[in-house]
Structure 1
Amino acid sequence: MTKTTFKQPLLDHNSPEFKTAKQAEAALFNVYNLTGTDTYYQLPDSDMRVRVTEIGSGTPIFIVPGNTGDGFPFSSLIGHMGNHHFYLFNRPGGGLSDGIDLTKLPDIRQFVVDTIDTVLNDLHLDRVPIMAHSMGCHWALWYALAHPERVSKLILIGNPGRVMLGKTPAPLKVLTLPGLDKIVSKRLIPKNQDQAFNGLKLMGTNKETLATLPNELREAYLRFEHLPNYSVSTLSLLKTLTVNPKYEIKAADLAQIQCPTLMLWGENDTFASVDKGREIGNALPDNRFHLVKDAGHMPWLDRPEECAGQVELFLQ
């Protein structure tokens, strides 16, 4: 395990912010008739705790969320799938795991691989399909490259982090400019429920979907983005994995992936074009690419039944 050389920003489980966020997530789960059981795992050589929420029963699926690592947006997709034991991993810095400042880590890639390895070991999952979104796809690909024997299939949803990206998207680059980063990130954090879906708008979620998503999802976004470590975790993610070319996963790397992959790509994903998605898919040795029409960077929000059906078909 890559040893952390400084104290990471831990999350106080007794704080009002923690309790309010957890209540908001539970209310959202209830909308989709989901019940979650939480376990916290201590990372070796660190005081950091990461959270895994287990939902359902049946064949296992390990989920690596996008953004900073919040798991609650997967609720609608999980709710449209059955007969699975979902392991919803809250990446460090997101969900209700402890915060993280990635700029302080000496080797981010090794930290990612070691963290997932630790969690899978603790869960006694020797070989499992991994479903991931956005930056979570980046983490999942790194892990599949390091431990191909432990990943049976990969489901990659949305533009998969810094993968064959080349130029950094302008909206992300602005967030890393000295002096502007904290100002812009602060403005992006919603002040109320009316602003809670601003991020989804920027990611291409269609207007009709935004009008019909439950208020419980609005409340979850509002509360999780007001957790005390959200800003430092977000900014450090942008300043490292998102914009630094040395962390890019290239076509030659993708060619080494040994398991079958499914890519679900929203037609209106604002982080990369459909052509780029197909290019990434063509670089994977055994890939099925599915375009989700009129959907954004989180395509299951726009088309939950379609996305769930594609995942189920692929897993079969």
Structure 2
Amino acid sequence: MTTNREAADLSLTLSEAGTGRPVLILHGGGGPATVAGLAGHISRTAHAITPVHPGWDGTHRPEWLIGIDDLALAYLDHLRDRRLDDVLVVGSSLGGWIAAEMAVRDTGGLITGLVLIDAVGVHVEGEPITDFFALDARGVAEHSWHDPDRYHVDPAGIPADELARRGANMATMRTLAGDPYMHDPELLRRLGHVRVPTLLVWGESDRIVTPAYGAAYADAFADGTLAVVPGAGHLPQIERPEATTALIDAHLHRTGTRSTATA
């Protein structure tokens, strides 16, 4: 089921499936396709809610929505409006940053667990975030995948409409996360106030944000744990889906405060 919900001039495009505990699944810069398989898996045992971030894949982004904090507040408002609680938030890359920003602002205790998958969003001394915008297609593959030859696609072979979609998505990401580049300078020190159990899932071969970056991220939470997935890069849910979903399934069941949730 796909629905639109409006708050002021913000319309959220959501895909939903399954029943049970609500799980909000937040995609990264690559768009909703990067978490589609993960959402399908989670929907077997929980209520998977997967938004398309405003500005991605042709969706409308209001002029006032110019930062990751704006998205975090919009998604918290959405949870409150629907009276959802006991929510697990799962975020990949940029989506993990949004999830972390939601958690530090969740004064109502709606979120009871977090999963950050190769998330950006913090500054770690000595572990810089690779400048994604400066990479060509081969560079993106080399930094993002454990097996870059398998996933590298020559842009010359991509249809014009798909190239346009990707370009528009990157322009939106640059607006929301380009300055300062891919992080909130205040976020790392604020994460100690987040008390919910937080699992950081990291591809061992990620060169966008390294496992050492992930370890520092995990250490900043009051209850953070890092799990490294061998044979995977920045998107372990795609390269090693079984290993990744096994970690998330365990965290989903370990952190829930009740067995069912009202949608």
Instruction: Give the TM-score range, shorter chain.
Output: 0.7 to 0.9
In the other structure, the counterpart of 1:17 is none
1:126 shift after superposition: 3.0
For residues 138-153 of structure 1, the aligned pairs below 5 Å read: 138-148=97-107, 149-153=109-113
1:154 paired with 2:99, answer: no
1:37-62 residue CA offsets vs partner (Å, 9 max, x unmatched):
11112232x3x322111022232211
Counterparts of 1:155 and 1:77 in 2: how far apart (Å)? 12
Counterparts of 1:300 and 1:170 in 2: how far apart (Å)? 20
In the other structure, the counterpart of 1:38 is 2
In the other structure, the counterpart of 2:144 is 203
1:84 paired with 2:46, answer: yes
8 Å Cα contact 2:28/2:91 also seen in 1: yes
In the other structure, the counterpart of 1:3 is none
1:283 paired with 2:220, answer: yes
Gaps of 5+ in 1: 1-36, 176-183, 189-196, 212-217
Distance 1:225 1:299, change over 3 A: farther
Gaps of 5+ in 2: 254-263
In the other structure, the counterpart of 1:314 is 251
RMSD: 3.2
Choose from 219, 234, 242 the match for 2:181.
242
8 Å Cα contact 1:39/1:51 also seen in 2: yes
8 Å Cα contact 2:57/2:169 also seen in 1: no
1:129 shift after superposition: 0.8
1:243-274 residue CA offsets vs partner (Å, 9 max, x unmatched):
57xx2244421111110001100011112222
Sequence identity (%): 19
In the other structure, the counterpart of 2:258 is none
After TM superposition, the score normalised by the length of structure 1 is 0.67
8 Å Cα contact 1:156/1:263 also seen in 2: yes
After TM superposition, the score normalised by the length of structure 2 is 0.79
Counterparts of 2:141 and 2:177 in 1: how far apart (Å)? 17
Counterparts of 1:265 and 1:281 in 2: how far apart (Å)? 11
8 Å Cα contact 2:29/2:170 also seen in 1: no
Report SS of the residue matched to 1:255: helix
For residues 29-178 of structure 1, the aligned pairs below 5 Å read: 37-44=1-8, 46=9, 48-67=10-29, 70-81=31-42, 82-99=44-61, 105=66, 108=67, 110-148=69-107, 149-158=109-118, 160-166=119-125, 168-172=128-132, 175=133
Counterparts of 2:186 and 2:95 in 1: how far apart (Å)? 13
In the other structure, the counterpart of 1:233 is 172
Counterparts of 2:150 and 2:167 in 1: how far apart (Å)? 29
**Matched residues, number:** 246
Instruction: Give the counterpart letter for 2:248 in structure 1.
Output: V
Counterparts of 1:41 and 1:292 in 2: how far apart (Å)? 36
Counterparts of 2:149 and 2:168 in 1: how far apart (Å)? 32
In the other structure, the counterpart of 1:299 is 236
Distance 1:275 1:227, change over 3 A: closer
1:227 shift after superposition: 6.6
